[in-house]
């Protein structure tokens, strides 16, 4: 039965067209797919999908969260975050990068995604352009589109055997009079690339020449395995060009605590706080207390986790190199690898999404298609998160190897 007046419903018919076209984050889509496959087929699914450390939040952080509950620290806090947390964040950034950050230049957010949205909403007008090196974490371009801004995608440079690096010449060529901002994710999601200090310097110089804002997301700054990592905060003039994003989710395995932060020069941070209070009021009080304990240490659990991820990284590269048609490299940061499989897909006559779905449905292995990161540069690539045990890495990639070999043999018999 059709309800009277349904065709005239302002709720049904008044949705902004851009919302209809926004893409979700594929990792969460594949969580649902994996659960369905496990339920319907009885397969023990191994997931290389969502970028979430499998190591539980460290005990001293949990204990501080419990203490906050016991002390009934459960009300609203200052929108910018409790002073103790902003001071701890500033101390961390200053101790590591010599950034000279003041606590009143820190805004605590409900995860790094909120910090991204807050930054974009505060600086991008409809029609403004933001340069997004791709493949890319989808939150940057999708939030920009929701605000009426225009993401302009600039492919990273693929180097066989070495992975990805920024194409500074292409980025500069993409700048137009409408360009306001450029994204720098370092270490990089989804590729695991670690951009060199010289490339960071060149990007900052580009920002100076063109008058651009650098949206710098360094949430994986502790997951660095080889090579030198240089933060944008090490540039003495960062306040003139940088909106800085970081958070607790990855470093302290606190994804569900929803704790991120945005750093900007004092005058701007004060104004951005006015927008923040109208979006989310404040970050969870309990999480903020736990976040102080995380930053104040001990840091040994973080170092142990990073070493474990280094070991997993090496195993992933080893196992992928055994799979016909996969082109791995050694990622130097984060906990992702984005191997090229375009030649394999051509031999199999498959598209990227078809290949990924086949591996899930037939072998119970979750990978993400490169096409969800998020435009065209990811076609012919897949992303794997190695935030799973070494045993699962070996088993899961053995399944992939067996299925690829079977498919290739099947094609060869035709």
The pLDDT of residue 7 is: 63
Distance CA 260, CA 116 (A): 10
The pLDDT of residue 251 is: 98
pLDDT digits (tens, 9 = 90+) for 318-362: 999 999 999 999 999 999 999 999 999 999 999 999 999 999 999
Q: Which residue in the block uniquely carries the two structure tokens 């890319």?
A: 136
List Cβ neighbours of 116 (8 Å cut-off, separation of 6 or more). 139, 140, 143, 215, 217, 245
Residue 105: strand, helix, or coil: helix
The pLDDT of residue 1 is: 44
Nearest alpha carbon to residue 305 among 249, 264, 352, 360: 249
Splitting the chain (414 residues) into consecutive groups of 10 residues, what average pLDDT does each group show?
61 79 71 85 90 95 98 98 98 98 98 97 97 96 96 96 96 98 98 98 98 98 95 98 98 97 97 96 98 97 98 98 98 98 96 95 94 90 97 98 96 71
Element (H, E) at 262: strand 260-263
Q: At what angle do helices 352-363 and 26-41 cross, to 10 degrees?
A: 30
Domains of the chain and CATH, by start: 16-56+301-413 (3.90.1150.10), 59-296 (3.40.640.10)
Burial of 299 (0-12, 13-18, 19+ CB in 10 A): middle
- 413's tokens: 């018999």
Distance CA 163, CA 157 (A): 8
Cβ 287 vs Cβ 77: under 8 Å? no
- 225's tokens: 């395995």
User: Given phi > 0 = left and psi -120 to 50 = alpha, else beta, which region is 302?
Assistant: alpha
pTM above 0.85, yes or no: yes
Could you tell me whether strands 129-134 and 179-185 are parallel, antiparallel, or unpaired per DSSP bridges?
Answer: parallel
Cβ 141 vs Cβ 151: under 8 Å? yes
Q: At what angle do helices 390-413 and 300-320 cross, to 10 degrees?
A: 20
Distance CA 24, CA 34 (A): 16
The pLDDT of residue 4 is: 54
Cβ 30 vs Cβ 368: under 8 Å? yes
Residue 346: strand, helix, or coil: helix
């Amino acid at each position: 039965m059709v309800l009277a007046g349904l065709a005239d419903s302002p709720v049904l018919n008044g949705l902004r067209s851009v919302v209809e076209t926004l893409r979700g984050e594929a990792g969460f889509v594949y969580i649902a797919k994996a659960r369905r496959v496990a339920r319907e087929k009885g397969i023990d699914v191994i997931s290389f999908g969502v970028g979430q450390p499998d190591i539980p939040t460290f005990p001293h952080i949990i204990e501080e969260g419990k203490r906050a509950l016991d002390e009934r620290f459960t009300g609203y806090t200052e929108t910018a975050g409790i002073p103790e947390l902003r001071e701890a964040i500033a101390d961390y950034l200053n101790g590591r990068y010599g950034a000279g950050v003041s606590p009143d230049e820190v805004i605590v957010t409900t995860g790094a995604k909120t910090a991204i949205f807050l930054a974009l909403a505060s600086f991008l007008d409809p029609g403004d352009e933001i340069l997004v090196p791709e493949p890319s974490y989808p939150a940057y371009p999708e939030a920009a589109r929701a605000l009426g801004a225009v993401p302009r995608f600039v492919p990273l440079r693929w180097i066989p055997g070495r992975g990805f690096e920024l194409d500074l010449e292409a980025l500069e060529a993409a700048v137009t009079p409408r360009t306001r901002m450029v994204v720098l994710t370092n270490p990089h999601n989804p590729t695991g690339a670690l951009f060199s200090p010289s490339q960071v310097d060149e990007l900052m110089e580009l920002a100076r020449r063109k008058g651009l804002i650098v949206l710098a997301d360094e949430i994986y700054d502790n997951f660095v395995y080889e090579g030198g990592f240089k933060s944008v905060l090490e540039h003495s003039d960062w306040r003139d060009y940088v909106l800085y994003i970081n958070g607790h989710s990855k470093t302290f395995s606190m994804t569900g605590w929803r704790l991120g932060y945005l750093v900007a020069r004092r005058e701007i941070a004060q104004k951005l706080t006015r927008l923040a209070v109208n979006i989310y009021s404040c970050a969870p009080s309990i999480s903020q207390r736990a976040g102080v304990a995380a930053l104040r240490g001990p840091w040994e659990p973080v170092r142990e986790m990073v070493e474990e991820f280094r070991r997993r990284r090496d195993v992933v590269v080893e196992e992928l190199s055994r799979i016909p048609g996969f082109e791995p490299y050694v990622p130097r940061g984060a906990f992702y690898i984005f191997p090229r499989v375009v030649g394999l897909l051509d031999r199999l006559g498959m598209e990227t999404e078809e290949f990924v779905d086949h591996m899930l449905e037939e072998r119970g292995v979750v990978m993400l298609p490169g096409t969800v990161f998020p435009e065209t540069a990811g076609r012919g690539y897949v992303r794997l998160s190695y935030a799973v045990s070494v045993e699962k890495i070996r088993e899961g990639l053995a399944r992939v190897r067996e299925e690829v070999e079977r498919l290739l043999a099947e094609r060869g018999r035709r």
